[in-house]
Amino acid sequence: MSEAAVKPRMPEEHGVPDPFPWMHPIMKKNYGQWDHHYRPRPGVLCHVAKSGDKIYTVRAGTQRQMDVFTIRKLCDLADKYADGHVRFTTRSNIEFLLADEANVEPLIEELKEGGFPVGGTGNSVSMVSHTQGWLHCDIPGTDASGVVKSLMDLMYDEFVNEEMPNRVRITSSCCQINCGGQGDIAINVQYTKPPRINHDLVANVCERPAVVARCPVAAIRPALVNGKPSLEVDEKKCVCCGACYAPCPPMQINGKEETKIAIWVGGKHSNARSKPAFHKLVMAGLPNNPPRWPEAGEVVMKILRAYKENAKDWERIGEWIARIGWPRFFELIDVPFIKHHIDTWTYARLTHNHSTHIQY
């Protein structure tokens, strides 16, 4: 045997690749020297550098989980119109970088023909941030790709137009760990029942002290069940968060009917105007209903319509609600306010109204 075959290959620790060899030359040339930008039409940005150079960006939606044929098709378009340069946004939109304005319209035409929506810029609804779900995660309560696809079909017009008061950034998460992040609207899994424990497996699969430590409300205790070491859950304490399920799959938190969908509003990352904010609960107990999750979609569309009709330009959803007040918001979307809307977690008191500021 040759020496090379015997000696295993150790990795080159390249780390984060240098993007400059792949960056569009105009962006390289004007790196850090941009002056301003404008949006000629939805889905298109024009950035003007201090040197006077311009770069056009055409943004299109993708399915994120892409087959190589889709990627190559996008590459063909990039070669034809964008000097072979693209980038992706944090929300999995693809951006074609065009030196020549004359290429903008033909590229948009071809993207449309290829089934790629052009939009997601400015005051539009951009792509829903996307997690893994049934396609690939080991703990999911629902699918991610199917939920996102169903929602984007419903919100398609809001992606390709810029008709919202301000940008809308939607997130989804297929378990309560919430990889999807915070959003103007969030569509998240909400478990409703304490874990059912598969006692036969616990001893083999789980490190019991680690599972006990994982519970945020100290509801799990080590226990002997049928003479074997296992765990028990104080169901009065359990908040059905699913935190114990990841380190210990026998803590079955998911159920065909028990896993539900909840909808939250008013999260925001940007510091613009108001401070960054977490999203707040609006609706829970919606069925986890593949393949199209129509009940969740209906609530999302109701919130979007109310926001579109009532908010002022530049107000994000949370800022709009802060102005009109939660009572009016719940009226507008026709959802009664119930006890589960009132926070009970750490610092809950800070979320209660300690004033006589009330909007009548």
Partner 1 sequence: MANKDMKVHPTPMLDELEKGPWPSFVTGLKRLRDADKRYSPVVNDLLGQLEHSYEEKLGFWKGGAISVLGYGAGVIPRFSEVPEEYPASSEFHTLRIIPPAGYHYNTEVLRKLCDVWEQYGSGLIAFHGQSGDIMFQGVDSENTQKAFDALNEMGFDMGGAGPDLRTSMNCVGHARCEMSCFDEIKVHRAVLNEYLDEMHRPALPYKFKFKFSGCPNDCVNAIHRADMAVIGTWRDDMKVDQAKVKEYVEELGRDYINEHVVGMCPSKSLKLNDKDELEVDNKSCVRCMHCLNVMTKALSPGDDKGVVILIGGKRTLKIGDLMGTVIKPFVKMETEEDIEAFVEFAGEVIDFFAENALEHERTGEMIDRIGLPAFLEGIGVEPDPNMVLHPRQVSYVRTDDFQDELEKARARKASKEAAE
User: Footprint of ligand SF4 on residues 207-226 (CB under 6 A)?
Assistant: 214-215, 217, 219-220
Q: Count interface residues toward ligand HEM (CB under 6 A).
A: 10
**If binding is defined by CB under 6 A, does position 181 make contact with ligand HEM?**
yes
Q: Quick one: which of 71, 218, 224, 342 contacts partner 1 (CB under 8 A)? A: 71
Number of other residues whose CB lies within 10 A of the CB of residue 191: 22
- Give the one entry of partner 1, ligand SF4, ligand HEM, none that residue 220 binds, where binding means its C-beta sits below a cut-off of 5 to 8 angstroms depending on kind: ligand SF4
Choose among partner 1, ligand HEM, ligand SF4, none what residue 85 binds, the Cβ cut-off being 5 to 8 Å by kind.
partner 1
Radius of gyration of the chain (CA): 24
The DSSP letter of residue 331 is H
Of 277-316, binders to ligand HEM (CB under 6 A) are: none
**Dihedral (CA of 278, 281, 284, 290) sign:** negative
Residues 130-159 that bind ligand HEM (CB under 6 A): 132, 136-139
Q: Tell me the C-alpha distance between 188 and 214, whole Å.
A: 21
- 340: contact with partner 1 by CB under 8 A: no
Span 164-203, contacts to partner 1 by CB under 8 A: 176-182
Site string for ligand SF4, 159-178 (x = CB under 6 A): --------------xxx-xx
The dihedrals phi and psi of 229, each to the nearest 5 degrees, come to -65, 130
Output DSSP code: residue 135: G
**Taking CB under 6 A as the rule, does residue 241 contact ligand SF4?**
yes
Identify residues 218-277 at the interface with ligand HEM (CB under 6 A): 246-247
Q: What does the alpha-carbon distance between residue 129 and residue 124 come to, in Å, rounded to a whole number?
A: 14
Other CB atoms within 10 Å distance of the CB of residue 276 = 12
**Nearest in space to 281 (alpha carbons), one of 303, 301, 305:** 303
| Spatial CB neighbours of 291, under 8 Å, sequence gap ≥ 6 | 146, 150
Q: What residue ranges bind ligand HEM (CB under 6 A)?
A: 132, 136-139, 177, 179, 181, 246-247
